[in-house]
A and B are shown apart, each in its own frame.
Chain A
Amino acid sequence: MRNLTLASGLALTLAFTTSGAAQEEPIKIGIPVGLSGANSVVAPSVVQSSELAAQEINEAGGILGRQVELVVADDGSGAQGAQRAFDSLVYQDEVDVLISMETSAARNAGLPIVNRSETPYIYTSFYEGRSCSPYMFVNAWVPEQQVTPVVDHFVNELDAQTFYLIGSDYEFGRGMLEFTRQYIEESGGEVLGEEYLPMDASDWTPILSDVRSKAPDAVITSTAGGAPNVTLTKQMRNSGIDVPYGNLAVDEGTAGNMGSDATGIYISQSYLTGIESEENAAFLSAMDEKFGSALETPNDLSVPQYEAIYLYKAAVEQAGTTDKAAVIEALPQVSYKGPRGDIQMNVQHHTPLTMYLGQVEEDGSVSVIQRFEDVDPGEQCPNL
């Protein structure tokens, strides 16, 4: 009974705010993000791009005449923190939408709260795929989109026959490499070894010794971002392994900081700062202007975040309301042309993307080797 009154009370307030009684009432966008923990390295860049999007929208008159307000909450990059963050955003701040990149653990932890509250949620991080909820949309890549360019290039251009896969032992690491193995075998290659280390481990020695003894034509790694990725790359370079090396988890910024160890690494992304388009140029100069020396390099997580806020704007404008159900209905129908090109979350709540295969140069910059148009995410959520 109590619950019913509460729910209807909530609905009433919503009805009031949406019926235009309170023009000044801002639209609240909740951003649960890993300010601490594993994601703390990339989180600041995501917050920055969100701030830019909000500023641009507000300066241009807001959404349906209402201003946009960001509510950022730390999720500690983990399940427990994510629950707190989602709870506080949904029930305390009563946000209209959740838009964020997060670890898989944090996303999984937050989803029940999204489902319970029926809040629209745009997930802006690449991930291992096949996470489905009627309220969640994804505008970043899944293995089907990211792995294929790397493997195709290695097999077709570099004549690689044998592969060795190394990953961090978590859902993303395993999910990516599982798909990679499948795809390599479909392409006629052979996987000589597939090994994992726990996420907090830092000594890759035994695995690297195995790599050396098996002498594969190419190595593909998918570790957790940050420390594990860096330690693996450093130790691999230190142990003298110099076969083509595809790193599914490194971003441009980290590659640039890593110095000589990163040279020659192949990466596959839906966003690189070097994309030549009007939208990207405008975005980069706006970011530069707003943050100056404090700017965190825009990357494959912060750009989808930026675009997602515009996608939400488009959906609200199409629906003519911030009513949650109406927005959810509109979300897959709208598209937005951002730094990564045209983005529409219309394939089972996932997004076809243009992917770029890049290689890290000696000065730390990434040169684009090949471009793959509109790569389909494949069967992610057949029930949606």
Chain B
Amino acid sequence: MADSYASSTARNRRRFWLVGLVGLIALTTVMIAPYFLDRYLVNVLIRALFLAVLAITVDLVWGFAGILTFGQSAFFGIGAYACALVATHYGFGPYWFFGAFLIGLAAAALTAWLVGVLSFYHGASPLYSSIITLALPIVLVQIIFAGGRFTGSSSGISGFPTYYWAVETWFVIAGVMLVVIGCFAWLFVRSDLGRILVAIRENEDRCAYLGIPVSRIKIALFTACGSIGAAAGFGYAAFTNVVAPELGGFLLGTESLIWVALGGRGTLIGPIFGAIGIDVTSSYLSGTLPFLWKFIVGVLFVIVIVLLPNGFASLVTGAWRKFGPKRRSADANDERASHSILLRPAPTVTRLGSNGEKPIIIEGLGCRYGSLSVLGDLSFEGRPGELLSIVGPNGAGKTTLMRCISNGSERTAGTVRIAGNEIAKRSPEKVVGLGVGRSFQNTSLFDSLTVGDCLRLSRYRIDGARLLRRTHHVALPKPALGILEATGLDKHLDQETRYLSHGQKRGLELAMVLATEPSVLLLDEPTAGLTKTERTAIGDVLLSLTNSYGLCVILIEHDLDFVRQISDRIVVLHEGRMVLDGSVEEVVSSDLVKSVYSGHAAEVA
């Protein structure tokens, strides 16, 4: 154990060294560059560097977290106007300057937070957040227009007092800012939390049902990126000595998307070069060929989006993979494959029965969509160590029942109590906190994450996630470890999940749900599409969960043989009503059930 810990800190240290080294090289370049470049280029570059910082935030929000934002420019504008307004109307000096900086950051953070709260609620469509980010710069620009003399309306403000340092100094300021923020962003996206961002991008819903507070993480990210954007805008305004509404406008917002898309979303370095490259080139070309230049950028943009979704960076990485030094990278892969992540048992928690409450009690539960009643007046309970199967023909409302238990906002009547706590209107991630784990009908996993990443992120609720580091061990409860061993997944922790077999995916999903340490486990057809042997294995696992670990397992199943073999109790649903709740024998011998299942009667018998 000590050994693994040492190696993981060593790996983290290596990462820090690498980032530090690259950062240092970049910083040195920044310090020296202005003395070798002509003054005009230096001027152009300073602006481009600030814009590149903005591009980083767009990449974090869009490239990594998958939120298509048209409004990042609004924060840039807020920062810029904070600088100009304070210097014009209130005062100037080191304290004023720094104060204005903080005001800009705070105002942008507040705006971003409000936008986040408004648009990142559970179940919001990704389109809605895009709409809000689209509305944001439009509204901001109107506010600036309406501000008359105070904001300078459409002409903006210029000539306000600022530090007229030499361009070399400004170059260093902008460069250092870019390098520092770039390095932090780099560490961040490779950290545990960074992986969670990717997971949210790939399957937001699944994250919520693993107890990850998706909305809160998105809001926090958006707020942080808002302030960083404002910092860039502040620097831009302080250097150029001019602010204008276009700095916070919709067009700059879309332009920043173009930089990121061309550079390569989700690569950090791509957007940086995208922003600098396009801005500098347009400085040189727009003077002579303004329309042709816009045309070229437009055409490139369309081509990249259609044919090269990962931008020009993907060409470079593709070429590297093809022609780069193969042996070394293979070595690195081997090394990683052997030890990059270690599993260990988590300290046992005894949640169940701690207060003597039943794990789950459902009373009078109903769910209707408009005039259509999908579920009505369901009442039953589950005991610790019990395996409860829910059967019924298609459309009986089984999956809806699962939804109503795991998401407080789904049902329209009745109560669900988990270990004595009402789920009320809690969102899925909070219901997970009460002790409900849910697996899905389809194996919805995170394609580009590795098995180890998946396991780590399912521990977020309990172990949290590091902001800048990657932890290299995951503590899992015993049953989860058991499944991983049984399916051989513990040997493939560095495999991306898309390469797993269907059975392995099922196993991994179950392990992930168990990693959240539920007391009630909801399984929606866990054996669908599995072979006979895999089915038996899952059956054994479920039995051990109930018998050895005392979980309450609620199972939806179509395979009635399987149900009969493993269930303690069976609930039969028909057209949204509970027809029967009894032991296996009772259900099997019931005529009522046979008539309900007329078509499937043979299977039951």
Q: Which A residues are within 8 Å of any B CB, using their own CB?
A: 2-3, 6, 35-36, 72-74, 76, 78-81, 83-85, 87-88, 91-92, 103-105, 108-109, 111-112, 115-116, 133, 169-172, 174, 198-199
Contact = CB atoms under 8 A, between A and B. Distances in A.
A105 B241 contact: no
B168 A2 contact: yes
B148 to A, nearest CB: 7
Contacts of B283: 84, 87-88
A84 B246 contact: no
Contacts of B158: 79, 108-109, 111-112
B242 A76 contact: no
Contacts of B35: 2
Given A112-B159, A112-B240, A169 B290 contact: no
Given A2-B166, A87-B43, A76 B286 contact: yes
Given A80-B244, A84-B287, A92 B38 contact: yes
B17 interface: no
A235 B290 CA distance: 32
A3 B166 contact: yes
Nearest to A198: B145
A105 B39 CA distance: 24
Interface stretch (B52-60, B149-157, B257-265, B512-520): B149-157
Interface in B225-268: 240-244, 246-247
Nearest to A93: B40
Interface centre among B164, B166, B244, B288 (most CB of A within 10 A): B244
B142 A198 contact: yes
Contact of A88 (B40, B156, B167): B40
A108 B243 CA distance: 9
B166 A105 contact: no
A73 to B, nearest CB: 4
Contacts of A81: 286
Contacts of A73: 287
Nearest to A73: B287
A74 B284 CA distance: 11
Contacts of B286: 36, 74, 76, 81, 84
Nearest to A104: B155
A36 B289 CA distance: 10
Contacts of B153: 169-171, 174
A78 B155 CA distance: 8
Contacts of B146: 169
B499 interface: no
A74 B287 contact: yes
A277 B290 CA distance: 38
B154 A199 contact: yes
B290 A174 contact: no
B291 interface: yes
B156 A108 contact: yes
B47 interface: yes
Contacts of B167: 3
A88 B35 CA distance: 18
Contacts of B580: none
B44 interface: yes
Contacts of B164: 116
Contact of A109 (B166, B240, B284, B294): B240
Contacts of B282: 84
A265 B305 CA distance: 49
A81 B157 CA distance: 15
A88 B164 CA distance: 19
Contacts of B284: 88
Interface in B163-208: 164, 166-168
Given A105-B154, A169-B154, 7 more contacts: A2-B166, A84-B44, A84-B287, A88-B40, A88-B283, A109-B244, A170-B155
A35 B142 CA distance: 25
Contacts of A104: 154-155
A87 B40 contact: yes
Contacts of A109: 156, 158, 240, 242, 244
Nearest to B157: A108
Contacts of B294: 36
Contacts of A111: 158-159
B39 to A, nearest CB: 5
A79 B39 CA distance: 20
Contacts of B39: 6, 91-92
8 contacts: A79-B247, A80-B246, A91-B38, A104-B154, A109-B240, A109-B242, A109-B244, A198-B142
Contacts of B247: 79-80
A81 B145 CA distance: 19
Nearest 8 A/B pairs, CB to CB: A79-B244, A170-B154, A92-B40, A171-B155, A108-B158, A112-B241, A104-B155, A73-B287
Nearest to B252: A80
Nearest to A71: B287
Of A79, A85, A91, A112, which is in contact with the most chain B CB atoms at under 10 Å from its CB?
Answer: A79
A41 to B, nearest CB: 14
A16 to B, nearest CB: 19
Given A105-B156, A169-B145, A85 B287 contact: yes
Contacts of A172: 155
Interface in B201-220: none
Given A83-B240, A112-B241, A199-B154, A3 B287 contact: no
A2 to B, nearest CB: 6
Contact of B40 (A35, A79, A91, A116): A91
Contact of A108 (B47, B148, B242, B291): B242
A310 to B, nearest CB: 25
B287 A83 contact: no
Contact of B244 (A3, A87, A105, A112): A105
A108 B246 CA distance: 14
Given A2-B166, A3-B166, A198-B145, A105 B287 contact: no
A72 B286 CA distance: 11
B569 to A, nearest CB: 67
Contact of B168 (A3, A83, A91, A169): A3
A325 B34 CA distance: 28
Contacts of A83: 47, 240, 242
A71 B44 CA distance: 18
B156 A79 contact: yes
Q: Which of B155, B167, B246 has the most CB of A within 10 A?
A: B155
Nearest to B162: A112
A108 B168 contact: no
Contacts of A199: 145, 154
B290 A171 contact: no
A91 B159 contact: no
A209 B547 CA distance: 79
B245 to A, nearest CB: 8
A171 B154 contact: yes
B236 to A, nearest CB: 10
A381 B286 CA distance: 34
A87 B44 contact: yes
A225 to B, nearest CB: 13
Contacts of B242: 79, 83, 108-109, 112
B156 to A, nearest CB: 5
Nearest to B38: A92
A172 B246 CA distance: 17
B54 to A, nearest CB: 13
A133 to B, nearest CB: 8
